[in-house]
Structure 1
């Protein structure tokens, strides 16, 4: 089993730890305990005759102040973070929770406060038991001042971040950043370093053992298994696909038409399946989350068209980036020749991004106009060298969803002038 844990899968599993609040605090706690005892090493060096003498009472006072205050601050930080997480889930969408939890500034602040508390308790206990000599006391004093400085810096930085954490604009920015990174990764490897699909869905279908979302596909493991079995594998489910025992994960076929391999456990295990979608390998998920944020803002209970307009602008930036070429040096070669992987369809991405917004904002003239202008802008994007044909798909998708949104507006708007303003924003015919 360990042999199947290739580099790509290990990176995926390690990235999941960023969503665990206990990882960084635990690491810092261990580091703080080690730092408290490292000071003892100075007692066995010449520093014992060089460093100035510091009374143990002075260091005990500093450590006591830190021990009593850090626990309170750590508790306050946890309370504020939980409140921010609840706010992000209620005002934006629960699907954005993982990004808010993974906020580095908040995790670093919590880790610093808890680590400073553990450091002060361990160091205070050692000092009261006369564990250190003169050099050790001095090094411990330097470490304590350093920790104090770090705590003050992190506290000020954390207050600034916690004031924004969980706010709708901050959540949108986090989702945009995660989606942008997923776009970059997929553009560098459109077929996940496999080859483009060459065959129809023929061969032996391979099914999942459980129900859930494809979170990650270990193409390297599949390629090595296929090479050993002398077969080819056509992947049928990209990351983000909801799969069930009746939906094939992939198709296995032999070039000579004779399939001898009958043990597909390794192939099935190469598909990481979980209860939720993740942003890392799933560019479409970010578009869905942004669409959900806008759709919720357009609901009668919230009635915040400004947020929907902001999301539409975010989607325009993301699709514009998707259309831009990738540096040839950054493109990953299709080195796994035994695995066929389909590319993401632009039409599916437009459906994820704009359908819910067009439906929820059909009766709002300001949202409908911004949506139409965005689709017109996307349809007018030009091809770049090495990216020929991508804009043709985007132009067709933009025109189709523009017509669909216009139909929704016609049915939803009761004032003719509003509909005419939306129709005027659609300039495909005049542009052609």
Structure 2
């Protein structure tokens, strides 16, 4: 993924972007109606009085402001519900929900369109042809508003709920897995063993959100370097941990240029970090088992979701076109521990959750050979935790039956 595409994706997830874009389009629509009127024929089939269009615009202006405020308050409520019932790390995905953003943007854009149209009519800027064009466009805006309102009514019944939040995180994680399968190892060569060369670290701490491997390759070709990237997206970089190791001559200017190929932020990014999605899903399942929520069923739903995602995981075996850049693959043990370890720690006494985790790990071990050893190791750790946490003999017997595959 290029730096520009990464930044564009982040921009589209900002809640202000689509409303601003629709507001600009609304103003341009009113201007277009004024411009098109200049090319209209002198004789029109019929003309409209100014108050005919203005009445419709006044109705839109007076109602859409209320609708927009209501829609925004619903989204804010969804943020609060998702944060309290699941995890705050899922809130950015709800904020970036394009369906919700589009509906709110239509309401705000149509409101602004109505205000600008009323100002133009009141100032006498529109001729007979201009009022006709404005009327046609107003009918189109009205249809768009009604369609968006109907879609919004269907959407608010789900947004912010636990099931919807799990689905949103699953979709984001699946997108990240798809991107990883299309660009394994960031389109670089596989790093085997320990990296060699001069270490280069970030000047400030932060999570690696993006690594522009193509830009690193270009710099490496120009200066005859070999670069081993040690901090893939998702890594927490600090001044004492190297982002990369470089073999070759590196001056201060080149060092800064290499560091500019990394984007660091305060939070991890879903688009480039598949492990982050598994961590967030683990937080949702873990929170569902807390004493305040006590919902093991949600934890089981999340475990089934992660099982589906792990079966879609593509091992990073292919090297890419960036032959002067080395990247280590993600370790299966790290991926599995990101999700299963918190649930095993806090849900080891719940036989239903433990049994479903063992079935999940059995499926992953059987269907994904690259994950088999890690799945068995995680399952053994889960069994040890469960044996210490469970008190009922029947629960222990059921757990051991579910774990029969580990040593078979």
TM-score, length-normalised on structure 1? 0.91
Equivalent position to 1:422, from 378, 390, 399: 399
Name the counterpart of 1:195: 189
> Retained in 1: the 8 A contact 2:376–2:406?
no
> Retained in 1: the 8 A contact 2:30–2:117?
yes
Name the counterpart of 2:161: 167
Q: CA, structure 1 residues 414+47, in 2 after alignment: closer, same or farther (shift >3 Å)?
A: farther
Deviation at 1:190, TM superposition (A): 2.0
Pairs within 5 Å for 1:128-143: 128-143=122-137
CA shift digits 1:82-108 (9 cap, x unpaired): 111111111110111110001011111
1:42 aligns with 2:36: yes
Name the counterpart of 1:377: 363
> Retained in 2: the 8 A contact 1:186–1:192?
yes
1:292 aligns with 2:283: yes
Equivalent position to 2:327, from 333, 341, 346: 341
Q: CA, structure 1 residues 205+429, in 2 after alignment: closer, same or farther (shift >3 Å)?
A: closer
Q: CA, structure 1 residues 131+310, in 2 after alignment: closer, same or farther (shift >3 Å)?
A: same
Deviation at 1:19, TM superposition (A): 2.4
1:22 aligns with 2:16: yes
Superposed CA RMSD: 1.7
> Retained in 2: the 8 A contact 1:188–1:332?
no
Name the counterpart of 1:385: none
Equivalent position to 2:205, from 200, 206, 211: 211
> Retained in 2: the 8 A contact 1:51–1:138?
no
Whole-Å separation in 2 of the counterparts to 1:78 and 1:260: 51
Structure 1: stretches of 5+ with no match in the other structure: 1-6, 382-390
Deviation at 1:201, TM superposition (A): 2.5
> Retained in 2: the 8 A contact 1:29–1:119?
yes
Name the counterpart of 1:384: none
CA shift digits 1:159-216 (9 cap, x unpaired): 2112211111101001111111111111222210111114622211001101110100
Deviation at 1:316, TM superposition (A): 0.4
Deviation at 1:302, TM superposition (A): 0.9
> Retained in 1: the 8 A contact 2:23–2:108?
yes
Deviation at 1:54, TM superposition (A): 1.3
Equivalent position to 1:365, from 351, 356, 361: 351
Deviation at 1:48, TM superposition (A): 4.3
Deviation at 1:367, TM superposition (A): 0.7
Equivalent position to 1:397, from 370, 374, 377: 374
Secondary structure of the residue aligned to 2:188 is coil
Equivalent position to 2:46, from 18, 43, 52: 52
1:70 aligns with 2:86: no
Whole-Å separation in 2 of the counterparts to 1:62 and 1:348: 60
Deviation at 1:229, TM superposition (A): 1.4
Whole-Å separation in 2 of the counterparts to 1:273 and 1:166: 28
> Retained in 1: the 8 A contact 2:184–2:319?
no
Whole-Å separation in 2 of the counterparts to 1:278 and 1:260: 30
Name the counterpart of 1:109: 103
Whole-Å separation in 2 of the counterparts to 1:111 and 1:319: 36
Q: CA, structure 1 residues 198+355, in 2 after alignment: closer, same or farther (shift >3 Å)?
A: closer
Deviation at 1:43, TM superposition (A): 2.8
Deviation at 1:49, TM superposition (A): 1.4
Name the counterpart of 1:387: none
Secondary structure of the residue aligned to 1:71 is helix
Name the counterpart of 2:307: 316
> Retained in 2: the 8 A contact 1:190–1:344?
no
Name the counterpart of 1:409: 386
CA shift digits 1:309-342 (9 cap, x unpaired): 000000100011115x89xxxx986111111011
Secondary structure of the residue aligned to 1:214 is strand
> Retained in 2: the 8 A contact 1:42–1:48?
no
Name the counterpart of 2:336: 350
Whole-Å separation in 2 of the counterparts to 1:371 and 1:190: 28
1:126 aligns with 2:112: no
Whole-Å separation in 1 of the counterparts to 2:149 and 2:309: 34
Deviation at 1:29, TM superposition (A): 0.9
Whole-Å separation in 2 of the counterparts to 1:101 and 1:69: 24
> Retained in 2: the 8 A contact 1:212–1:274?
yes
Deviation at 1:260, TM superposition (A): 5.6
Secondary structure of the residue aligned to 2:388 is helix
Q: CA, structure 1 residues 87+51, in 2 after alignment: closer, same or farther (shift >3 Å)?
A: farther
Name the counterpart of 2:240: 246
Structure 2: stretches of 5+ with no match in the other structure: none
Whole-Å separation in 1 of the counterparts to 2:383 and 2:268: 31
